[in-house]
Structure 1
Amino acid sequence: MPSRASAGTDRPGSPGGSGSCCPGPPGYQAALAEAIRADKTRIIAVLDDLESRELIRRQPDPEDRRVRLLSLTAEGRRLRDAAQAAIQEGEERLLAQLPAADRAAFLRALHTLSGLPELTGRKPGTARAGRGSTRA
């Protein structure tokens, strides 16, 4: 059984994760909604569809049956990995058109912008969130 502190790392519902879902302990459904800035009741239809396509599994948290834990199935991981590879390939192809110095400056600027409170939902002056998850 996953610990509450580690349950969200790199899993569905992991605001501090890599933005993707990885094998391992399940993540929290409410944390996924928070990470994508969606109302948790509005993502249920999407999760229903993913579950019906056998891409994710949802189950009640054994410690709190009101909380839903999400995890990828083997097919869900395969699809995620294929999508990530295609995205990476496209990014590399696009960035290869820039001189190395411009590419490095562009990536530094993107990293800086990605930490802005307007994009992260954090209040100005607060540190970036860790890899833990929040509960439903």
Structure 2
Amino acid sequence: ITQAEVREQLRVDKGAAARRAASLEAKGYLIRQANPKDGRSQLLFATEKAEGLRNSKAQVETTFYEWLLAELPEAEKAAFCKTLDTLYRRSKQESRAGFPHITALTEQGEGERHE
């Protein structure tokens, strides 16, 4: 798989995005407002209902991680959290760059399979 193919897979079809936005709007999770800089486009904003859902998800995740780490000694908790933070930052950096290292590894693996 090439980097261009990875980018293509990550693209969102405009029609699919419009349908998803309309669905979320109908369910009360989004509102549309005219873009003050461009009369032809609209801006999407999360509603209080959506914010509540996000906040409840965050609370569930917080409670889960507190439970998960509760029985670990403090030194192990600190080491785990440091490692997790390192992996998170590395993955975000790779994502922002368009996954060049992942693409290179994938292409390398494809070449090995065809030999």
Shared fold (TM-score, shorter chain, > 0.5): yes
| Corresponding residue number in structure 2 for 1:121 | 96
3-state DSSP of counterpart to 2:44: strand
Q: Percent identity?
A: 30
Q: Can you give the 5+ residue segments of structure 1 that lack an aligned partner in the other structure?
A: 1-36, 125-136
* Deviation sequence 1:74-129 (CA, Å, 0-9, x none): 222222211211111112111223221111111111211122233x32279xxxxx
- Normalising by structure 1, what TM-score? 0.53
In the alignment, the residues of structure 2 paired with residue 71 and residue 112 of structure 1 have an alpha-carbon distance, to the nearest angstrom, of 32
In the alignment, the residues of structure 1 paired with residue 97 and residue 79 of structure 2 have an alpha-carbon distance, to the nearest angstrom, of 25
Q: How does 1:21-60 map to 2 (within 5 A)?
A: 38-39=11-12, 41=14, 42-60=16-34
**How far off its partner does 1:45 sit?**
2.7
* Aligned residue type for 1:75: K
| Corresponding residue number in structure 2 for 1:75 | 49
In the alignment, the residues of structure 2 paired with residue 114 and residue 67 of structure 1 have an alpha-carbon distance, to the nearest angstrom, of 34
In the alignment, the residues of structure 2 paired with residue 97 and residue 112 of structure 1 have an alpha-carbon distance, to the nearest angstrom, of 22
In the alignment, the residues of structure 1 paired with residue 98 and residue 49 of structure 2 have an alpha-carbon distance, to the nearest angstrom, of 37
3-state DSSP of counterpart to 2:97: coil
Tell me which structure has the larger Cα radius of gyration: 2
Aligned residue-pair number: 87
* Aligned residue type for 1:88: T
**How far off its partner does 1:40 sit?**
6.0
> Does 1:96 pair with 2:70?
yes
Q: Can you give the 5+ residue segments of structure 2 that lack an aligned partner in the other structure?
A: 1-9, 100-115
In the alignment, the residues of structure 2 paired with residue 94 and residue 52 of structure 1 have an alpha-carbon distance, to the nearest angstrom, of 37
| Corresponding residue number in structure 2 for 1:112 | 86
**How far off its partner does 1:67 sit?**
4.2
In proportion to residue count, which structure has more helix? Answer: 2
- Normalising by structure 2, what TM-score? 0.61
